[in-house]
Amino acid sequence: MPGLIQKEMDSANRVAPGQPVIDIQGLEVAYGSVKAVQGVSLQVRQGEIFGLLGPNGAGKTTILSVLEGLVKPQAGSVKVLGYDALRDANAVKPMIGVSLQTSAFFDELKLLELVQFYAGLYEVFLSKAQALALLARFELEEKAGVRAKELSGGQQQRVALALAIANNPKIVILDEPTTGLDPQARRNVWDIIRQIRAEGRTIVLTSHYMEEAQELCHRIGIIDRGQIIALDTPGGLINSLHADSRIMVTARLPEEKVRALPGVTEVSYENEKLQVTSNDAFETMLGLQQLAVEARQLLFDLNYRQPDLEDVFITLTGRKIR
């Protein structure tokens, strides 16, 4: 999101901090001698889009698999909507909707039949009209009589999302919902996920796309080698770096006053352009506006480059995510 201050985006995106609907404490999962998840604790709140962000093999899918009742952990507790998900999986399963990395479509079934089948497994029996209405919400109405293998990647992903809410779940768990999609299809899926959330559902998703997590998620857990290494809002994560942002603006403001603004670390003029380096871009830019108002000037060509989640990941792990 170049040009936008993440802090402002966060507040626009902000959800009223809801009750935790998922509470994971001290989760440990091992496949044989491979420790996939090592001591993960996190909470997901009612009504938020929570993202697990990390490289392939970090343990994201394993955490979801525990929530879905597919994997039994070696240690830890998992509560979903107040139920013990490890002991009482049958109480939890009807309340969650799932999209796995593999799409799990039967080649022999048409979309309409596929929707009725998966809903039916939850004892939710959709009439033809109801199943069509569900497909229509994902712009798949015309494809109702088509088999999934004949659809594009983006359409298939929309089918997976339709199946994930076919049982009208309170929590929707999506494993890499946009992997392999082109940018336009990806944005389309983001819109749908936001809509699903707007219906009052809580979303948990995984991703290894930085910009996706940054734009879509209210809170992000960064996971690496089976551990949560940071957990906050995207803006909170970026601010926690205290990395310097660069602000460029065409304005003539007194250099010493700019230097005195909060967060400023360096000031210079290059070709009539004011160059400011700041470790608190939000406060610095507020201050610049204040100075401009006092000097009865406008800030032209304001340009801003902030650190992003990629910088957060590199700072935390010393590696790039991909």
Q: What SS3 class is residue 302? A: strand
- CA-based Rg of the chain, rounded to a whole angstrom? 23
Task: For other proteins, give the closer residue by CB, 192 or 276.
Answer: 192
From residue 253, alpha-carbon distances to 247, 284, 288, 308 in Å are 14, 13, 8, 28
Burial of 214 (0-12, 13-18, 19+ CB in 10 A): buried
Position of tokens 């610049």? 288
Q: Which of residues 7-26 bind other proteins (CB under 8 A)?
A: none
Is residue 123 a contact point for other proteins (CB under 8 A)? yes
Binding segment toward other proteins, per CB under 8 A, in 52-60, 187-195, 266-274, 314-322: 187-195
Q: Among 7, 60, 79, 93, which residue sits at the site for other proteins (rule: CB under 8 A)?
A: 93
Q: Among 13, 62, 116, 245, which residue sits at the site for other proteins (rule: CB under 8 A)?
A: 116
Q: Among 38, 77, 101, 315, which residue sits at the site for other proteins (rule: CB under 8 A)?
A: 101
Q: Among 94, 141, 279, 311, which residue sits at the site for other proteins (rule: CB under 8 A)?
A: 94
Closest to 172 measured CA to CA, from 81, 234, 257: 81
Residues 27, 250: Cα–Cα separation, whole Å: 52
Q: What SS3 class is residue 169? A: coil
Is residue 192 a contact point for other proteins (CB under 8 A)? yes
Binding segment toward other proteins, per CB under 8 A, in 76-84, 197-205, 260-268, 291-299: 197-205
List of residues contacting other proteins (CB under 8 A): 68-70, 90, 93-94, 96, 98, 100-109, 113, 116-118, 120-126, 130, 137-139, 167-168, 170, 188, 191-192, 195, 198-201
